[in-house]
Amino acid sequence: MRVLVALGTRPEVIKLAPVIVALQRRAEVRVCASGQHREMLQQTLDALGLQPDIMLETMSPGRSLNVLAARLMEGLDGVLEQEQPDWVLVQGDTTTAFCAGLAAFQRQIRVGHVEAGLRTGDLASPFPEEANRSLLARIATLHFAPTQLAAAALRGEGIPEDSIRVTGNTVVDAIAQARSAWPSGVPAGLPAEIRQRLGAGPAVLVTCHRRENFGSVLEAFCHMLVRLCVQYPDIQWIFPVHLNPAVREPVHHLLARLPNLLLTEPVDYHCSLYLISRAILVLSDSGGIQEEAPSFGTPVVVMRQHTERIEGIMAGFATLAGQDPADIETAVYAWLNDADRRTALRALANPYGDGCASMRIASALYGEPCEAFHG
């Protein structure tokens, strides 16, 4: 069997890496990097020891999503014509995932959609990811739903039962693989400035990168962080700043001079996981972090109006705080002022997966039966 794996962003690399490893044991696997997020993509590929077989040049600063999609469709069509795969495997909700799925569908190539079925019910949030993931459901051959709730969403949209597999989320597989590469319990590439801050006291990890939080919303987040840093001077606030200028410019302008706030360059995957493991709390708009943090018993305040990852909230790992800084602050206070509540999370299992998702996906591509993940 010949499988083409298409990826273009950091989360796709992280979540497809263990699937690639599982498939390489029994199939011919070709990895196509779309170039959607070139710098952060390469950093993550290096951290996970992956090298793409095909690298496209599709992204340039300031281009619209439509221009990106047009370049992706043209580039991916040429790749499909050359590679002639039996399956195209895509992950999640990126423009790369949707375009690769559509290009494969239009060449009558089977499409496997990893992390299918996540929904907020609002096409504008997250944008354009909710639409990308929903549209992929119309054209995929096999839908690899990470949880029973995701599978139920697919059934509710009329997706045939025999095309749905509940696999668990591959991010849990990726975490297990990453932690096995820390022989001393600390990633080899952890920057000295982060190591120093973690040694200075309890830490809170902050991340922010989603389009819906740009502009005035992000500026309000920054003013909120100033207040939190002043109110909790004994806590180290660590903020790896996304490369997007829409994030970097306001963050560095508004947050550059706080003694207990560290603004860092984006960290690699191993260091990101280590920061989550050491943090007493995470403030984030990231979908991936919502799935990763439960493996470490770390709570998350989700800075979004909607989330397609409701399982963590239902299990008590996360608070969906919205975009209003007052509501986010209230959620932060609730977690930071209740150590017992935070400690209780350490005994709970990750509701998103059990570390066997990649094996289930590989089996499904070969038409083999496999026990579903139940959470």
Active-site annotation holder among 107, 155, 179, 211: 211
Catalytic residue among 12, 93, 130, 173: 93
Is 219 among the catalytic positions? no
Catalytic residue among 242, 270, 304, 309: 242
Q: Does residue 115 carry a catalytic annotation?
A: yes
**Distance (Å, whole) CA 241 – CA 257:** 15
* Rounded distance between C-alpha atoms, residue 374 and residue 353, angstroms: 8
| CA-to-CA dists, residue 142 to 90, 134, 204, 224, 298, angstroms | 11, 14, 39, 43, 32
Question: In whole angstroms, what is the distance from residue 116 CA to residue 138 CA?
Answer: 11
- Catalytically annotated residue among 10, 113, 129, 270: 129
| Residue 113 is a catalytic residue | no
Mutual angle of helices 269-278 and 170-179, in 10-degree steps: 90
Catalytic residue among 119, 143, 209, 278: 209
Which entry of 10, 38, 71, 115 is annotated as an active-site residue?
A: 115
- Give the residue numbers annotated as catalytic, written as ranges: 93, 115, 129, 209, 211, 242
